[in-house]
């Protein structure tokens, strides 16, 4: 125990995190078992020990931005949870059609009451766009409008939304740009609420895996769904998009991404938040689109996700008194850990947010980048 404590304390010190310190990113250890558990269990043990109340930090987001900025995660020896995650991704298609609805059931079906309180008024569960926005509502509307402008939407167009969530883009695009939208999601709860929110508009919401989509569309958008596709399915995903897109149409892919290709998914995130999720790299996306699409534009606004996640966290905490009758205290700790650890990851620039505009044959005369 003493040796484990020293090793963990020294590792944290290398990231300027002090055990028992008074700075916002420092941690307070409540249970001495924390040290040996984290040393042997890595990120999974770190998250589970926080959920159990073994340690605290005044500002988890600051703690994570510090440890991830120096890649402290890579300095902890390889453990079985990482090995098993790697092997599972190599040997099996963890995002196969038979497994496509798992993330919908575990994460997106967690409760529409939770997401109503946490998100903006349009219920957009993807990165907002903050350059000139005053609050979350405005930042999400500006992101939706940016997306529509990048796609060049015009009245009468038919748009496909892969991973439509609660219909936020579909509703906005139908109302503001006069288009009709078909949205697909793997979440039953999202379908029910999206149909309610989009009632009376030319919007169709389907409970459907992306591989089963048929039809032809003037434009395609996918906001925050590609993280659930998996590297074994990237080629199939882009082939489906090509099949469904008219020859002169545009496809906008909005996804979290990382700098280095890897088949290892963070074990804690995989177990508690996004089962079977995996973040793509630039190389993996490029390989996936090669010979299928022309890359017209690549826009990185990853730092905006830090601000978005902090806004979601503030909403979640502010509305917890109204939510706690339906959720446990452990869920409260888990959800805060999820939101704040992700905010820290974006702040450290270890992960990014990309909007990529693709065409089938190249835009005649060139595509004009929109910001």
Active-site positions?
A: 342
Beta-carbon count within 10 A of 315 CB: 17
Could you give the C-alpha distances from 107 to 50, 144, 228, 237, in angstroms and in order?
A: 20, 23, 12, 22
Could you give the C-alpha distances from 326 to 20, 78, 114, 320, 323, in angstroms and in order?
A: 34, 37, 9, 10, 6
**Secondary structure element (H or E) that encloses residue 255, with its range:** strand 245-258
Residue 355 half-sphere exposure, CB side, CA atoms within 13 Å?
A: 24
Phi, psi of 351 (to 5 degrees): -130, 160
Beta-carbon count within 10 A of 364 CB: 8
10 Å CB burial of residue 349 (0-12, 13-18, 19+) is middle
Question: How far is the first Cα of the chain from the last one, in angstroms, to the nearest whole number?
Answer: 53
């Amino acid at each position: 125990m003493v040796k484990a404590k020293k090793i963990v304390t020294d590792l944290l010190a290398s990231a300027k995190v002090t055990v028992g310190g008074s700075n916002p990113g420092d941690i307070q250890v409540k249970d001495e078992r924390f040290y040996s558990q984290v040393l042997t269990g890595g990120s999974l043990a770190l998250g589970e020990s926080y959920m159990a109340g073994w340690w605290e930090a005044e500002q988890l987001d600051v703690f994570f931005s510090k440890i991830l900025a120096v890649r402290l995660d890579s300095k902890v020896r390889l453990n079985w949870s990482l090995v098993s995650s790697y092997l599972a991704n190599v040997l099996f298609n963890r995002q196969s059609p038979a497994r496509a609805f798992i993330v919908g059931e575990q994460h997106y079906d967690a409760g529409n009451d939770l997401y109503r309180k946490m998100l903006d008024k349009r219920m957009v569960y993807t990165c907002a766009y903050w350059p000139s926005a005053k609050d979350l509502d405005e930042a999400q509307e500006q992101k939706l409008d940016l997306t529509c402008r990048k796609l060049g939407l015009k009245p009468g167009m038919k748009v496909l939304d892969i991973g439509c969530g609660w219909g936020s883009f579909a509703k906005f695009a139908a109302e503001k740009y006069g288009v009709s939208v078909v949205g697909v999601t793997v979440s039953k709860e999202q379908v029910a609420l999206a149909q309610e929110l989009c009632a009376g508009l030319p919007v169709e919401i389907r409970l459907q895996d992306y591989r089963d989509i048929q039809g032809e569309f003037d434009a395609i958008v996918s906001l925050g769904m590609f993280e659930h596709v998996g590297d074994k399915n990237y080629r199939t995903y882009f082939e489906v998009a090509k099949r469904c897109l008219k020859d002169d149409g545009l496809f906008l892919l909005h996804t979290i991404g990382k700098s280095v290709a890897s088949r290892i998914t963070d074990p804690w995130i995989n177990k508690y938040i996004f089962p079977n999720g995996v973040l793509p790299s630039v190389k993996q996306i490029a390989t996936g689109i090669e010979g299928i699409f022309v890359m017209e534009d690549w826009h990185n606004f990853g730092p905006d996700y830090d601000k978005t996640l902090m806004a979601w966290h503030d909403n979640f905490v502010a509305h917890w008194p109204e939510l706690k009758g339906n959720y446990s205290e452990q869920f409260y700790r888990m959800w805060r850990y999820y939101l704040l650890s992700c905010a820290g990851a974006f702040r450290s620039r270890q992960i990014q947010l990309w909007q990529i505009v693709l065409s089938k044959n190249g835009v005649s005369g060139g595509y004009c980048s929109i910001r």
